[in-house]
Amino acid sequence: MKLVRLIANLGYGSRREVALMFREGRITDAQGEVLYADDRVPHETVRVDGEALDPPAGLVIALHKPTGYTCSTRDPARMVYDLLPPRFRLRNPLLSTVGRLDRDTSGLLLLTDDGQLLHRIISPKSRVPKIYEARLAQDLRGDEAELFASGTLVLESETTPLAPASLNILGPRHARLTITEGRYHQVRRMFAATGNAVTQLQRVAVGALALDELALEPGQWCALDEVQVARVFEP
């Protein structure tokens, strides 16, 4: 791909703006040699104002989503994209969230521009476990684990039962729930179906990729390498 297109696709500007950057000599190789708009050189050798280019297409990001941020781009509220470099919103292909977390849910949120990967992670057929820790308004009744594991629970206003989910009780009002689907407000609605309410919800892992191991503070993000992405598909 010609450099001008590659750099425009990374959100540095329109093609016209990026063409101007070339003319201004702002795009160079690692040795500072000026590059030209129709050059085709390896991504890792390109510098913009002396800085390495943003990661190429195929980007996968892990974000520690804080509460108070929405995954929707239509919402006037704070968006998870506000926590990333502004250029990332202008990338082509688009960087999308892999599923969604509610505004009041914190934890591990993945974003990618790889449509196939996104589909593989969110498709219920892939059965990628999404693991949540929930704080509850009331003590657990004791029968929730059995109900969630049964594969018969039908959420309010739905007709198909949920796939079996597994519940680990961590305290009287504290539990870890592993689900393989991503229905709207699923975790909150599952507990609501037992007469309880979730007061705090955090996604702690997607597959075997755990928030803890990424050591991200709320609001921080990192690009994942192939080994980390593969962990998403490990049981």
Query: What is the contact surface with ligand URA in residues (CB under 6 A)?
Result: 101-102, 105, 185-188, 201
Mark 182-209 as b/e (b = at least 16 C-beta within 10 Å): beeebbbbbbebbebebeebbbbbbbbb
Distances (CA, A) of 69 to 65, 165, 214: 7, 27, 20
> Contact at 8 Å (CB) between 111 and 60?
yes
What are the residues facing 219 on neighbouring strands?
none
**Distance between start and end Cα atoms, the chain:** 37
- Min separation Cβ 178 and ligand URA, Å: 12
Closest approach, Cβ 229 to ligand URA, in A, equals 21
CB nearer ligand URA, residue 58 or residue 68: 68
| Alpha helices per DSSP H over 38-171 | 115-122, 144-149
| Nearer to ligand URA (CB atom), residue 91 or residue 203 | 203
Q: Which residues are catalytic?
A: 102
Concatenated DSSP letters of 43-67: GGGEEETTEEPPP-SS-EEEEEEPT
Residue 219 beta carbon to ligand URA: minimum distance, rounded to whole angstroms: 17
- Is the peptide bond between 93 and the residue preceding it cis, with omega within 30 degrees of 0? yes
Closest to ligand URA by CB, 39 vs 102, is 102
Tell the smallest beta-carbon distance from residue 56 to ligand URA (Å). Answer: 30
Nearer to ligand URA, 22 or 69 (CB): 69
